[in-house]
Structure 1
Amino acid sequence: MISEQSWEDAELLWDYHQMHHELRPCSVAIGLGSHDLGVADTTVDLYKRGMMPLIVFTGATSPTTRERMPRGEAVHYRERALELGVPSSAVLVEPNARNTGQNISFSKALLEEAGTHVSSVLLVSKPYEERRAYATACKLWPGVQFVSASTPMTFDSYIESIGSTRLVVDMLVGALDRLLIYPNQGFMVRQSVPAPIAEAYGRLCRDGFTSRLVVGQAKP
């Protein structure tokens, strides 16, 4: 269990991390690899709704996905999409990316190699990674319009799907930590962080939700 204040702070971060973009048709969708097959399911749903003619799934493996997705995150996502009825011709796989920056830059290179003209991209990620993916993509792929998307779900239901409140709150804090630090390192464009969000982040750090902070950075 966590305190009522920590729960309220985590809900603030949960809402902030989502861009709340209005979905619209784009040139392509990029599904960012992770432990969550829901990203693949949501990408397929968007494809079936006519939001894009082509999908790129991107991602290698990580310590959290190596056992669940031994062939690589992007490969497992593609297999899931084909199971759900997406034609193989509509799915490209980028199997090497190991972080969000590589997800974007490697997908960009793959699409250029395929001769695909891209003016807009649907970025499909986990709910709490929307803003990080958006900020990274805007930095690495200027001139393209990005629309963020994720599986529509509440904070409570996401915790239920993961099975650990502490892990989810740690991930929310870690994602915001990167939004604060990475612009200075040239990894993403800067996002406005309203004072209530920064204050909630600070309280959660002081309460020990720090396992996903950037290594070597001072804690608030």
Structure 2
Amino acid sequence: MPTTAYPAAVRPDVETLWQYNQLHHDIRPTDVGIGLGSHDLGVATHTAQLYQASMFPLIVFTGANAPTTVERFPRGEAVHYREHAIEKGVPSEAILLEPRAKNTSENIDFTRAVLADHGCVDSIRSATLISRPYQQRRSYAIFRKHWPEVEVICSSLPLELDEYIDTIGDADRVIDMLVGDTQRIWVYPERGWAIEQEVPTAVKVAYDRLVNAGYTSRLLPA
């Protein structure tokens, strides 16, 4: 049974990774907001909030399904995100759909293609990338690799660690995902999928301790 409780002994290491994977960018107006599909409906909520604050005039929701989202979003992540944003007051004509992407590289490449199909990709000079909080750094690195000529700002719902775990309702899942995203910061550049980023020693130490504590379900094979 999922629970929001987790051992107090691991909390400092979880907090270290939580802070590292968020970029704390200053939000300002950009040409497009890109909501990355996942199990977290908070991405759509925050995208709608930023749109209503006039941070961008156009939204692209991108995402098909993963094994972790198919039950919650049976028609696809982007489709459900669009519906949620409309419920939050975003006009339907301000939203484009990209319903095929199954990973973050495809999110970026397929979003670019959708914008090209609608004749507006050449006007995109800046983008706000909206994701789960702990996905910011990885998404940023992938975006910079795949679309380097566009300036990117990352944003997420402004929640503290325990608040976020409460919204998801499963501490182990959040910690596993956080550990997995951290590993991808150095693995993806090695595979040519993302730009390189600095990984402080404190982050590597926290990561190693959490792996040793058993938070390994989202790790890539060595």
TM-score by length of 1: 0.96
Check 1:81–1:2 CA distance in 2 against 1; reply closer, same or farther (3 A cut). closer
Contact 2:40 2:168 in 1 (8 A): no
One-letter amino acid matched to 2:198? S
Residue 97 of structure 2 aligns to a residue whose secondary structure is: strand
Counterpart among 77, 95, 98 of residue 91 in structure 1: 95
Deviation at 1:5, TM superposition (A): 3.6
Residue 30 of structure 2 aligns to a residue whose secondary structure is: coil
- Map 1:140-151 to 2 at 5 A: 140-151=146-157
- Percent of matched pairs sharing the same residue: 51
Other-structure match for 2:131:
125
The alignment status of 1:75 with 2:79, answered yes or no, reads yes
RMSD of aligned residue pairs (Cα, Å): 1.0
Deviation at 1:2, TM superposition (A): 4.3
- Map 1:14-163 to 2 at 5 A: 14-116=18-120, 117-163=123-169
Q: Which moved more, 1:80-89 or 1:182-191?
A: 80-89
Segments of 4+ in structure 1 off by > 3 A?
A: 1-5
Deviation at 1:191, TM superposition (A): 1.1
Deviation at 1:83, TM superposition (A): 1.3
CA offset digits 1:160-215 (Å, max 9, x no partner): 1122222211111000111110101011001111110111001111111111101x
One-letter amino acid matched to 2:45? D
Q: Which moved more, 1:76-85 or 1:52-61?
A: 76-85
Contact 2:60 2:98 in 1 (8 A): yes
One-letter amino acid matched to 2:16? L
TM-score by length of 2: 0.95
CA offset digits 1:24-71 (Å, max 9, x no partner): 000000000011111001000000000000000000011111111111
Structure 2 stretches lacking a partner, 5+ long:
none
Contact 2:165 2:171 in 1 (8 A): yes
Residue 102 of structure 2 aligns to a residue whose secondary structure is: coil
Check 1:4–1:84 CA distance in 2 against 1; reply closer, same or farther (3 A cut). closer
> C-alpha distance in 1, partners of 2:69/2:179?
21
Other-structure match for 1:200:
206
CA offset digits 1:86-142 (Å, max 9, x no partner): 111100000000000000110011112211110000000000101111000000001
Structure 1 stretches lacking a partner, 5+ long:
none
Check 1:209–1:82 CA distance in 2 against 1; reply closer, same or farther (3 A cut). same
Counterpart among 6, 13, 24 of residue 10 in structure 2: 6
Number of residue equivalences: 216
Residue 65 of structure 1 aligns to a residue whose secondary structure is: coil
